A = this chain, B = another copy of it.
Amino acid sequence: MWKKTRDFLDKLTPAQVITSYYLLAVTVSVLLLRLPGVHKPGVKVDFIDTVFTAISAVSVTGLSVVNISETYSVFGYFVIMAILQFGGVGIMAIGTFFWMILGRKIGLRSRKLIMVDHNQFALSGLVHLIREIIKIIFLIELIGALVLGFHFLNYYPSWEDAMLHGLFASISATTNGGMDITGNSLVPYAGDYFVQLINIILITLGAIGFPVLIEVKQYLFRKREEQEIPFRFTLFTKLTTLTFAGLLVVGTIIILVFEFQHYLKGLTWHKSFFYAFFQSATTRSGGLSTMDVSDFSMPTLLVMSLMMFIGASPSSVGGGIRTTTFALNILFVYHFAKGKMDVKIFNRELHHNDIMKSLVITILATIMCFTSVVLISITDSQHELIEIIFEVCSAFGTTGLSMGITAELSDFGKCILMILMFIGRIGLTSFLFIIGGKEQKANYHYPKERVIIG
């Protein structure tokens, strides 16, 4: 019996493992969210809304059909924090693990051997990695909770309230859960730049990708004798960090320019800057906001939709097509327009397979989101087109920003968003391998370096 189970597990592809984990997590979450005492006294939640909340929390999206602070009890808050942990950190851990196993420069055959026969090794690797990830993320969350908690003593009368808000805010930001118990996201702290900065840092640490965190840790804690030789960050880390920073800066500038004469009109320069800066940072995958995004003008909403569609780094708590996919697209289009077929960056050359993959993922994601918009515009025709586009991109990017229509959507519309959150979270690459049912045939005969996509 145990042998059979192990044989079965051995045959699972990474995509199948991630999907199974996701579906199991959703099931457990639904059960947890139906426990007695989870809701505030007298509150009833429809089953589909519980499922939606569970999927939204497991995929760390944060789109909400209910107001958390009005619906759930303090016990419920803790349940949601737990779900955010195993949704955000769990899937990140599994994704990172498989990337590290598959990313080693070993032949397909020996890799298969490692995966199938030596699964003791793989399992111990997984355990070690998950422990590492949990250690780092918990440390970040703990520091975040303490910093925010002490600061919140300025806002909340009781010690417990301040710490609860600090803890929830820290976990929601670090896992990019995007949920809130203030009842109105971070709008109460719209004038508090300290809270916003801490949130941006926590969101970024969660969304930048776990391989980056590991490498930075290795860089900071390397032994003295190693400090002689220059530390080499991987191409993945350089590319995803640069793209991340680029999107943050460009997003901030675009919001400032587009809203200068509109939402930001008459505000001080620092208030304008922080509105633009925070709303740019949160599109990566955070989903928290310091204002009602539906007050932005059409051009800004379109650009924010695109930025949510791009999403966060691979092997992170975020979704979307991923920063590296976007970077490879831009790099290849640029090189192609100049007549070159090979993409060189940071003294490395990109794999053609990776480029193809990034192009396909982008096109497929575009088709998927377009189809979703069309379908929702059939059943929920009372809503504006931009509202539907924004909500669809938010779900696919597992961002969770909302123009406020999610709760009003038909059950069909909610189902579409749930599917998008699922695919956005596990990544289109994984999703493709579930459908295709086949493992990726990696190509090892180029002297190039691999980059994670989608």
A contacts, CB < 8 Å to B: 258, 297-299, 302-303, 306, 329, 332-333, 336-339, 341, 352-353, 355-357, 359-360, 362-364, 366-367, 370, 373-375, 377-378, 381, 384-386, 389, 432-433, 435-436, 438-441
Closest chain-B Cβ to A389's Cβ sits at a distance in Å of 8
- B336 near A356: Cβ-Cβ < 8 Å: yes
Closest 6 CB pairs of A and B: A339-B438, A359-B359, A298-B377, A337-B432, A338-B436, A299-B378
- B339 near A360: Cβ-Cβ < 8 Å: no
Known: A333-B360, A352-B352. 18 other contacts (CB 8 A): A258-B378, A298-B377, A299-B374, A299-B378, A302-B370, A332-B356, A333-B364, A336-B356, A336-B357, A336-B432, A337-B435, A338-B438, A339-B436, A341-B441, A356-B356, A359-B360, A362-B363, A366-B366
CA distance A215 to B6 in the complex (A): 60
CA distance A359 to B440 in the complex (A): 20
Residues of B within 8 A of A339 (CB): 433, 436, 438-441
Closest chain-B Cβ to A418's Cβ sits at a distance in Å of 20
Neighbour of A299 across the interface among B341, B377, B384, B389, CB < 8 A: B377
18 contacts between A and B (CB under 8 A): A297-B381, A298-B385, A299-B374, A302-B374, A329-B363, A333-B363, A333-B367, A336-B360, A338-B438, A339-B433, A339-B436, A341-B441, A352-B352, A359-B363, A362-B363, A366-B366, A385-B385, A385-B386
CA distance A366 to B367 in the complex (A): 11
CA distance A377 to B341 in the complex (A): 35
Residues of B within 8 A of A378 (CB): 258, 299
What copy number does this chain have within its complex?
2
Closest chain-B Cβ to A437's Cβ sits at a distance in Å of 8
Given A341-B356, A385-B384, does the pair A373, B436 have CB atoms closer than 8 Å?
no
Residues of B within 8 A of A303 (CB): 374
CA distance A385 to B333 in the complex (A): 27
Residues of B within 8 A of A370 (CB): 302, 306
Given A356-B359, A360-B333, does the pair A298, B381 have CB atoms closer than 8 Å?
yes
CA distance A356 to B360 in the complex (A): 10
Main secondary structure, interface of A, reads: helix
Given A306-B370, A360-B333, does the pair A353, B381 have CB atoms closer than 8 Å?
no
CA distance A357 to B364 in the complex (A): 16
Given A302-B374, A381-B297, does the pair A436, B337 have CB atoms closer than 8 Å?
yes
Residues of B within 8 A of A329 (CB): 363
Closest chain-B Cβ to A283's Cβ sits at a distance in Å of 15
Residues of B within 8 A of A438 (CB): 338-339
Residues of B within 8 A of A302 (CB): 370, 373-374, 377
Residues of B within 8 A of A359 (CB): 356, 359-360, 363
CA distance A370 to B433 in the complex (A): 30
Residues of B within 8 A of A338 (CB): 436, 438
Residues of B within 8 A of A364 (CB): 333, 337
Chain B minimum-CB-distance residue to A362? B363
CA distance A360 to B339 in the complex (A): 12
Chain B minimum-CB-distance residue to A434? B337
Chain B minimum-CB-distance residue to A305? B370
Residues of B within 8 A of A337 (CB): 364, 432, 435-436
Residues of B within 8 A of A433 (CB): 339
Closest chain-B Cβ to A288's Cβ sits at a distance in Å of 24
Neighbour of A360 across the interface among B332, B381, B432, CB < 8 A: B332
